[in-house]
Amino acid sequence: MTRASPTHSCKGCGTSAGLRVRLSSSSIDGPKAGPTAYPTSRLNWSVSRLTSSLPVLPRSLWQPRTRRERFPSSWRQVVIRWGSGSSQASRPGGNVTGLSFSVGTDIVGKWLELLKETVPKVRRVAVLSNPANPSHALAIENVIVAARAVGVQLQLLEAGGPNEFDNAFAVMARDRAEALLVVLDPFFGFHRARLSHLAAKSRLPAMYGSREYPEVGGLMSYGADFRHNFRRSATYVDKILKGAKPADLPIEQPTKFELVINLKTAKVLGLTIPPLLLLRADQVIE
What CATH number corresponds to the domain at position 147? 3.40.50.2300
Pairing relationship of beta strands 257-262 and 220-224 according to DSSP bridges: antiparallel
User: What is the DSSP secondary structure assignment for residue 40, as one 8-state letter?
Assistant: G
Q: What is the pLDDT of residues 149-182, one digit of tens each?
A: 999 999 999 999 999 999 999 999 999 999 999 9
- Given pLDDT bands bounded at 50, 70 and 90, which one contains residue 2? very low
The type of residue at 31 is: P
- Given pLDDT bands bounded at 50, 70 and 90, which one contains residue 102? low
Does residue 37 sit in the same domain as residue 154? no
Q: Torsions phi, psi of 20, nearest 5? A: -100, 125
Does residue 117 sit in the same domain as residue 1? no
**Residues spanned by the domain of 44:** 1-102+226-254
CA angle 53, 54, 55 (to 5 degrees): 135
Does residue 245 sit in the same domain as residue 275? no
For 102, half-sphere exposure in the C-beta direction (CA atoms, 13 angstrom radius) is 25
The type of residue at 87 is: S
Q: What is the pLDDT of residues 134-151, one digit of tens each?
A: 888 888 999 999 999 999
Q: What is the pLDDT of residues 232-258, one digit of tens each?
A: 777 777 777 777 777 777 777 767 789
Q: Which residues contact 96 (CB under 8 A, 6 or more apart)?
A: 57, 61, 62, 73, 75, 78, 246, 247
CA-CA-CA-CA torsion sign (131, 217, 197, 278): positive
Does residue 216 sit in the same domain as residue 233? no
pTM tops 0.75: no
Lowest mean pLDDT of 16-20, 22-26, 74-78, name the range: 74-78
The type of residue at 172 is: M
Does residue 250 sit in the same domain as residue 128? no
